[in-house]
Amino acid sequence: MTHRLPAPILSLMLAILMVGVTSSPVLTAFEDAPLVSSTEGRQETLDVDCSGYTFEDLFEYDFALFELKVLDDWATGDMFANAWVNGSNSAIVRDNLDGLFEGLPGGDNDWISTDERDAVRSIGPKCIADMETRLGMREGIPHSGGVDWNDFEFVEDGIGLDEVNLVPDGHQDARTCTNFGAAADCKEVPTSTTDDMEISLFVGAGETNNVRWDQLPNSGVSNFTLAMNISNMSDAALVVTFPVLQGLRIYDFRVLDNQPESGQTCDHIGEPSFAYLPDGALKVTQLVSFDRTQWDLECYMFMDFTTQEPATNDAPAWTQAAPANGTMIPTSGAGNLKFAAAETGNAWAIDENGWSLQCEFVEDGWSVSTNVLGDFFVTQPESSSQSTATCHAVDPLGAVDENDSRTWTFGTLYTATGTVDEDGKNARLTITSAGLVNEFLFSARALQNGQLGGAGESITVASTPTITAVSLTNLRPGAFEFSVTAEASNMLSHAAEFSLGLIKPNSAPVVEVAVNFDGENATWDESQLKFEMFGLVSDPDLEAVTMSLTICGADYQGFNIDGINWVVEVSTAICLANGLSDYDVVITATDDSGATTEVAVGIPAPVVEDVIDIGEPVVEADDALPSLSFLATMCMLGVAVLHRRKAEE
């Protein structure tokens, strides 16, 4: 039995992967001759065969989340998958998908179109249904392979697919599709486009499941093993939620590899984490990372589950790292807020079987939970700004020390309002304490698509509203958020991100023109027919800048920009052709958002040295000899006089 791709992964992928290519191994036409027509017509003539392909063959994601809910019949499940693809990886995915359409008009032409996108959405479920899920769940003696895994398989009718931004709307390089048979509204963008994108798999509308397997005979009561082939899963999280079953727990875990000659191993894969939901259902989370360049390495993961009680089961115990009684746990208002990262919160208690945090609040609507990564969250209702909770550490089998609780107060730390300065250099945050603590130290930075603005100073917030300036340097024009931290005595450290709907305005580029050693804006070459200028250009918003100029009514684009330095060599041929001698120019710098700066620059005329004009000799019309000038005649007379005087002496 060959296990290619994780159920989750599979799903996601294949739909996206294999689209109608009459000549590709993925899709073949029912008819002998390929039919080239509209997207809809093309799909009707295609059969799908995606066996032998895996998600990672064509799809390079930055992170993928796969969630499987095992249904109460222990024979079917709901699979949800979402993959995030960013930057250069998104260009790889677009190129791979376009390549699948080789042989069809518009396919494999370095452009990804809305027609190709629609084909992915339509044909995807058929493609996924052909794939092996790489997941299996077998009841009985624990195994590590070598037996029938009781593989999961996809249910074609239950598969729903969607994507976000495969063909970005309004992209600057978008064009109308040029291939024969394209839909009237077809648009396409270059496969080199690096806009972020997402791809999702879910249970289709009106369906109850999208995966199935042979039912476990004892519905999870007897021991069973969940197995998964995790080879080539670069960075992903698998979350499996089981039906409510008293005493269900994971009691063993192992990862095996094929011991390739390269010496690579799967030893870096850590153990799964688990938690019990409020209804008692067991949720297991496995994080996976893999070096995609190690194609000869195969990794297999096995989790063993049981409902048998352990021989001994001590209750979890708090550690020195746990917040003391009376600790304040701050929030930034109503909603679901992370108050402790997994590595921090998990260190608050210890138990050999793991533990979860359970809190009872005085006020209604409050609760604590963890996400798939194990981070701790608190849910705060709109109707309440503060509530005290009594919290216990509870192990998977319900063991708890009722006499060892912690009492903490959760509540809103502050409210915030904001504005942006007219010059766009700073935002102004007004922070008002909500009274959770007497005073706290607060700092904020602007945040935009993962990029932080300039660092600022921390402020102390007490009983009166306090204003702080937040630098917007390093941010592009557009919407931005705030990333804030707060510290106070007897309070858990606070970190949050929030938006106030503020927008950074676009600032125009800054252009400077340098002068040469003569103090002039331009240097003429020896021919006096062209001159060179240089200087500096920058954009306050760090956007790319293009430059042009006009001279004698004509536009010129030949700027060479290197970092903040620019240089341009300008020919005056257009001026000479039109008999113009005014060489002044207007330089225009334009940033990516369209803001422009114009600078008028005076250009001195080229310096031409005076040349003595020696006239040609005057020739008498009837004499072959040139006539003597007056000066020459006087000289000759002078010589004659001197000669006569000498003779008389």
pLDDT in tens, 267-298: 999 999 888 776 778 999 999 988 877 778 99
Predicted pLDDT at 569: 95
Predicted pLDDT at 264: 87
Query: Regarding beta strands 494-498 and 151-154, do their DSSP bridges make them parallel or antiparallel, or are they unpaired?
Result: unpaired
Asked if residues 412 and 337 have their Cβ atoms less than 8 Å apart, the reply is no
Distance, CA of 350 to chain centre: 37
pLDDT at position 45 over 60: no
Interval 497-502 mean pLDDT = 95
Q: How confident is the model at residue 109 (pLDDT cuts 50, 70, 90)?
A: very high
Q: How confident is the model at residue 198 (pLDDT cuts 50, 70, 90)?
A: very high
Predicted pLDDT at 181: 87
User: Can you tell me the distance from the alpha carbon of 159 to that of 79, in angstroms, rounded to the nearest whole number?
Assistant: 9
- How many angstroms separate the Cα of 200 from the Cα of each of 55, 83, 160, 467, 548? 13, 7, 8, 42, 45
pLDDT at position 339 over 80: yes
Q: Does domain 414-504 have CATH number 1.20.1200.10?
A: no
Q: How confident is the model at residue 408 (pLDDT cuts 50, 70, 90)?
A: very high
Which residue intervals of 303-443 are DSSP H helices? 342-345
Q: How confident is the model at residue 119 (pLDDT cuts 50, 70, 90)?
A: confident
Q: Give the position of tokens 């021989």.
A: 311
| Residue that wins the pLDDT comparison between 422 and 419 | 419
SS (H, E, C) 246-281: CCCEEEEEEEEECCCCCCCCCCCCCCCEEEECCCCC
Q: How confident is the model at residue 15 (pLDDT cuts 50, 70, 90)?
A: very low
pLDDT at position 237 over 90: yes
Q: How confident is the model at residue 37 (pLDDT cuts 50, 70, 90)?
A: very low
Amino acid sitting at position 312? T
User: Can you tell me the distance from the alpha carbon of 613 to that of 101, in angstroms, rounded to the nearest whole number?
Assistant: 77
pLDDT at position 43 over 70: no
Neighbours of 145 (CB within 10 A): 14
User: Can you tell me the distance from the alpha carbon of 469 to that of 460, in angstroms, rounded to the nearest whole number?
Assistant: 13
Interval 574-579 mean pLDDT = 92
Interval 213-236 mean pLDDT = 93
pLDDT at position 506 over 60: yes
Q: Do domains 414-504 and 510-601 have the same CATH topology?
A: yes
Interval 113-125 mean pLDDT = 86
Helices 114-129 and 7-17, axial angle in degrees (round to 10): 140
User: Domain segments of the chain: what residues?
Assistant: 7-306, 324-411, 414-504, 510-601
Q: How confident is the model at residue 610 (pLDDT cuts 50, 70, 90)?
A: low
User: Can you tell me the distance from the alpha carbon of 409 to that of 378, in angstroms, rounded to the nearest whole number?
Assistant: 12
Q: How confident is the model at residue 233 (pLDDT cuts 50, 70, 90)?
A: confident
| Residue that wins the pLDDT comparison between 36 and 64 | 64
Q: Establish how many alpha carbons lie within 13 A of residue 182's alpha carbon, considering only the half-sphere containing its beta carbon.
A: 21
pTM exceeds 0.85 for this model: no
What top-level class would CATH report for the domain 510-601? mainly beta
If you ran DSSP here, which 8-state letter would residue 379 be given?
E
pLDDT digits (tens, 9 = 90+) for 51-89: 766 666 667 888 999 999 999 999 999 999 999 999 888
Predicted pLDDT at 606: 86
pLDDT digits (tens, 9 = 90+) for 531-573: 999 999 998 877 889 999 999 999 998 899 999 999 999 999 9
Q: How confident is the model at residue 14 (pLDDT cuts 50, 70, 90)?
A: very low
Predicted pLDDT at 432: 97
Q: How confident is the model at residue 630 (pLDDT cuts 50, 70, 90)?
A: very low
Q: How confident is the model at residue 216 (pLDDT cuts 50, 70, 90)?
A: very high
Neighbours of 643 (CB within 10 A): 9
Interval 362-382 mean pLDDT = 92
Predicted pLDDT at 622: 46
Contacts of 136 (CB under 8 A, 6+ apart): 3, 148, 149, 150, 151, 152, 213, 226, 227, 228
pLDDT at position 624 over 60: no
pLDDT at position 639 over 60: no
User: Can you tell me the distance from the alpha carbon of 275 to that of 368, in angstroms, rounded to the nearest whole number?
Assistant: 12
Predicted pLDDT at 649: 52
Using only the alpha carbons of the chain, give its radius of gyration: 39
Closest residue by Cα to residue 93 from 192, 235, 171: 192
pLDDT at position 647 over 90: no
Q: Average pLDDT, whole number, for the chain? A: 84
Predicted pLDDT at 629: 46
Closest residue by Cα to residue 414 from 333, 495, 489, 326: 333
Q: How confident is the model at residue 449 (pLDDT cuts 50, 70, 90)?
A: confident
CA dihedral defined by 41, 45, 48, 49, rounded to 10 degrees?
-150
Range ranked top by mean pLDDT from 178-182, 216-220, 310-314: 216-220
pLDDT at position 129 over 80: yes
pLDDT at position 16 over 60: no
Which residue intervals of 51-166 are DSSP H helices? 55-58, 87-99, 114-129
- CA distance between the termini of the chain: 141
- Domain 324-411: give its CATH code: 2.60.40
Predicted pLDDT at 372: 74
Closest residue by Cα to residue 48 from 152, 133, 131, 112: 131
**Burial class, 10, CB count within 10 angstroms (exposed 0-12 / middle 13-18 / buried 19+):** buried
| Residue that wins the pLDDT comparison between 434 and 614 | 434
At residue 353, the 3 state secondary structure works out as coil
Predicted pLDDT at 320: 96
